[in-house]
Amino acid sequence: RKEVEQDPGPFNVPEGATVAFNCTYSNSASQSFFWYRQDCRKEPKLLMSVYSSGNEDGRFTAQLNRASQYISLLIRDSKLSDSATYLCVVNSPGTYKYIFGTGTRLKVLA
Binding site for another protein (CB under 8 A): 31-32, 34, 36, 41-46, 49, 51, 87, 89, 91, 93-98, 100-103
Residue number, 32 or 65, with CB nearest to another protein: 32
State the nearest-atom distance from the C-beta of 19 to another protein, in Å: 20
State the nearest-atom distance from the C-beta of 98 to another protein, in Å: 7
Amino acid, single-letter form, for residue 15:
E
What is the C-alpha separation between 38 and 35, in angstroms, rounded?
A: 10
What is the C-alpha separation between 22 and 15, in angstroms, rounded?
A: 20
State the nearest-atom distance from the C-beta of 60 to another protein, in Å: 15
Residue number, 11 or 34, with CB nearest to another protein: 34
Residue number, 5 or 13, with CB nearest to another protein: 5
